[in-house]
Structures are given as structure tokens and as C-alpha cells.
Amino acid sequence: MSAPMNQDPRLDQAAVTDESLIAVHEKLGGKQPDENANYRLMPLVLLFVFSGLIFWAGTYLNRYSGHFDAGIFNENAHPSTGEGPVAKADPMKVGATAYAATCVNCHLPTGLGQPGAIPPLAGSEWIIGSEERVIRIALYGLTGPIKVKGADYNSAMPPQGKIAGAPPTNLNDERIAAVLTYVRQSFGNNAPPISGEQVAAIHTKEGDRKPMTVEELTKLP
């Protein structure tokens, strides 16, 4: 005859309550329930830090992404230094500005000079003639008598280039070229322009020197 149902040992498990099971698990885990609300601050700190980083990243992208326009961001573009082509200044405009600042007091806005004192630039054979000569006159100045358009002059022209011992307001080679181009194509003149490379080549060849004389200039082509 079989044993009574109430003697089955498996029925003793019903005596184990939920509370006793939780207590056993906590004991085995070595942790006690946090009944005093002693929360750790580290998770909260990390939460605020990462939230701040996400906010900063969103702000940065919104400001600098250019809405991901292909003209701003192009993964297929070739490497570049970011420097675009520099537009070259008009030598006539640069020359006009330099003339107004440096030459106009002596040669006047008309380029006619002052009779008996300052030779004219308009129609001057020295201006529209040899480039070798006019560059040297502008760079180093001129001393001694000179004949221009059949008239005699004997006033000294100071150097206009950056020459040792000359006034610090003098012009660099590019601006010398620009002002010469301006006077060779103004006041009724019609002569070819002069480049900064031409002026720099003569400047390098002659170095720092005293003002030119007519005798020296006439030996040049």
C-alpha cells in the first residue's frame, strides 16, 4: 500500500517563503539591500558628463557642418592647402596711387613737370624710351644736368627704390614697376608696361649704389 500523499518530502518546499529566499540570495551575494538610500554618485556624474558631450557635439555639428553641403565637405576632393588663387592687382591702379603719393608734388597731376626745374614725364624720351634707363632712374634717382624734349634741367631726383641709405618711404620693386607702367601709359604716353621681374633683375644686378648720371644712362641700350 502506498504512502499517504501528505508524507511526500517535496511538500516541505512549500514552507519556504519568498522572504527567506531573498535573504539567502543576498547572503550568498555578499550584498545587503540599500535601505538608507545611500546611492553612489559616480553613475550620476558620468551621466551628466556624457550628456554634456552629446550636447556639445550637436552644437558643433550644427554650426560647422555647413549642412553637409558638397561644396563644403567633399570626400572625393583632392588635398588642398586651403589657399585660393590670389588676384593680381592692376598695375595701372597701383601705379596711379603710388604716383599720387610720391611723384605728383614735383611732376604735377598732368605729368608736365615744372619749367626750368622739374622735367616733364609727358612725351619724355627718357620715360617712353629704354626700359633699362627708366628703371634705373626710378630706382636710384638722377643727378646732374639732363636734356628732356630739347630743354635743359639740372635738378636732382631722389631714389625711389629700396636703397640702403635712402628714405624709408621708398617703393619696392613691384610698386616701382607699377608707377613706371602708369607714367609710360599716361599723359599721352603709349609705351609697353614694365614688370616687377624687370625691376628686380636690375636691382639685383646694380645692388645699392649712388644716383645715376646722364653719362651712365647713355651707355645703356
Query: At 101, which amino acid appears?
Result: A
**Which helix (DSSP H) or strand (DSSP E) does residue 152 occupy?**
strand 151-153
Neighbouring C-alpha atoms within 13 Å toward the C-beta of 190: 1
What integer is the mean pLDDT of 18-30? Answer: 69
Which tens digit of pLDDT belongs to each residue from 118-130?
999 999 999 999 9
CB-CB contact of 137 with 116 (8 Å)? no
| Domain 91-217, CATH homologous superfamily name and number | Cytochrome c-like domain (1.10.760.10)
Give domain limits for the chain.
Answer: 15-68, 91-217
Picking from 111, 108, 95, 91, the residue whose alpha carbon sits closest to that of residue 160 is 95
Picking from 118, 135, 116, the residue whose alpha carbon sits closest to that of residue 127 is 135
Report the pLDDT value the prediction gives residue 72, as an integer from 0 to 100: 57
Report the pLDDT value the prediction gives residue 28, as an integer from 0 to 100: 65
176: pLDDT confidence band, cut at 50, 70 and 90? very high
pLDDT at 44 over 90: no
Distances (CA, A) of 89 to 17, 97, 179: 95, 12, 13
Q: Which carries the bigger pLDDT value, residue 125 or residue 60?
A: 125
1: pLDDT confidence band, cut at 50, 70 and 90? very low
What integer is the mean pLDDT of 33-62? Answer: 76
CB-CB contact of 111 with 121 (8 Å)? yes
Measured CA to CA, the distance from residue 106 to residue 103 in angstroms comes to 6
- Which residues are within 8 A (CB) of 33 and not within 5 positions of it... i.e. 6 or more apart? 26
Report the pLDDT value the prediction gives residue 58, as an integer from 0 to 100: 81
Q: 3-state class of 21 per DSSP?
A: helix
Terminal alpha carbon distance of the chain: 144
What integer is the mean pLDDT of 130-134? Answer: 96
Measured CA to CA, the distance from residue 8 to residue 3 in angstroms comes to 8
If one counts every other C-beta atom within 10 angstroms of the C-beta of residue 89, the result is 13
Which tens digit of pLDDT belongs to each residue from 95-113?
999 999 999 999 999 999 9
pLDDT > 70 fraction of the chain, expressed in percent and rounded: 72
62: pLDDT confidence band, cut at 50, 70 and 90? confident
pLDDT at 168 over 80: no
DSSP per residue, 97-143:
HHIIIIIHHHHTTTS--BTTTB--STT-HHHHS-HHHHHHHHHH-B-
Measured CA to CA, the distance from residue 39 to residue 75 in angstroms comes to 48
Q: Which carries the bigger pLDDT value, residue 73 or residue 147?
A: 147
